[in-house]
């Protein structure tokens, strides 16, 4: 699988978010590969986006990586507990990012099952197999992505994204982003993208 280079991320965030669908995220841990197919992503357009952590160019210790070059990991905690992974996009100084919301497990299923449910994959119920990675926090837990990965170069060798192995013949759904009711008009932007009918999508469009 061909690894994405930095030029992929140094583009409009909405384009990057759409084109991440079907790509494979790879995390190499202790000689093992954990791989998931990206099926859902959300775009956050920096200074003009009231839902973005970097709205109005808000620069803090948490958002600092968003102001740097594209193709780096922005990892933060929700509810003070669960890591979520974003990918920094666009040119340096323009703090935009794409949130990875859901993946379809591809490789390392036993490790994912142990981290999520402390069971073997075969011991999981049908519902647990779907719930293993169908949300941003679940995704990170399954992939063992934590705050230690904040600022990780996604053009490196430990955590990166590759082209999919198959042609992208799927249909993409555009929908509102999730849990951003506070963001006024930005809450209505159709900046969440997912693969239609994929069972691992976290929230289906009504």
What are the tens digits of pLDDT across the range 80-93? Answer: 789 999 999 999 99
Q: What are the residue boundaries of the structural domains of the chain, listed by start? A: 6-195
- In CATH, what is the architecture of 6-195? Roll (3.10)
Q: How many whole angstroms separate alpha carbon 21 and alpha carbon 152?
A: 21
Which range (122-131, 182-191, 192-201) has the least confidence?
A: 182-191
Per-residue pLDDT for 206 more than 70? no
Q: How confident is the model at residue 37 (pLDDT cuts 50, 70, 90)?
A: very high
Mean pLDDT value across the chain: 94
On whether the CB atoms of residues 20 and 174 are closer than 8 A, the answer is no
Per-residue pLDDT for 108 more than 90? yes
pLDDT cut 70: percent of the chain above it: 98
Per-residue pLDDT for 168 more than 80? no
Q: How many whole angstroms separate alpha carbon 33 and alpha carbon 30?
A: 8
Q: How many whole angstroms separate alpha carbon 144 and alpha carbon 96?
A: 24
Q: What are phi and psi of 202, to 5 degrees?
A: -75, -45
Per-residue pLDDT for 101 more than 80? yes
Give all strands (DSSP E) within 67-131, no chain letters. 73-78, 82-89, 96-107
Per-residue pLDDT for 33 more than 90? yes
- Residue 94's contacts (CB-CB under 8 Å, 6 or more residues apart) are 46, 47
């Amino acid at each position: 699988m061909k690894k994405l280079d930095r030029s992929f991320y140094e583009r409009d965030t909405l384009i990057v978010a759409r084109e991440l669908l079907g790509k494979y995220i790879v995390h190499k841990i202790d000689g093992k590969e954990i791989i998931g197919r990206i099926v859902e992503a959300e775009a956050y357009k920096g200074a003009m986006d009231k839902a973005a952590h970097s709205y109005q160019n808000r620069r803090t210790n948490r958002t600092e990586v968003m102001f740097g070059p594209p193709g780096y990991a922005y990892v933060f905690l929700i509810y003070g507990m669960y890591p979520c992974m974003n990918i920094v996009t666009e040119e340096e100084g323009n703090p935009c990012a794409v949130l990875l919301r859901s993946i379809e497990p591809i490789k390392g299923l036993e490790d994912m099952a142990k981290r999520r449910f402390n069971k073997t994959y075969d011991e999981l119920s049908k519902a647990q197999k779907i719930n293993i990675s169908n949300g941003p926090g679940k995704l990170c837990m399954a992939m063992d992505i934590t705050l230690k990965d904040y600022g990780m170069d996604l053009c490196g060798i430990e955590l990166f994204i590759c082209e999919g192995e198959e042609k992208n013949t799927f249909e993409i759904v555009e929908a509102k982003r999730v849990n951003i009711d506070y963001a006024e008009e930005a809450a209505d932007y159709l900046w969440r993208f997912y693969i239609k009918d994929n069972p691992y999508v976290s929230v289906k469009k009504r």
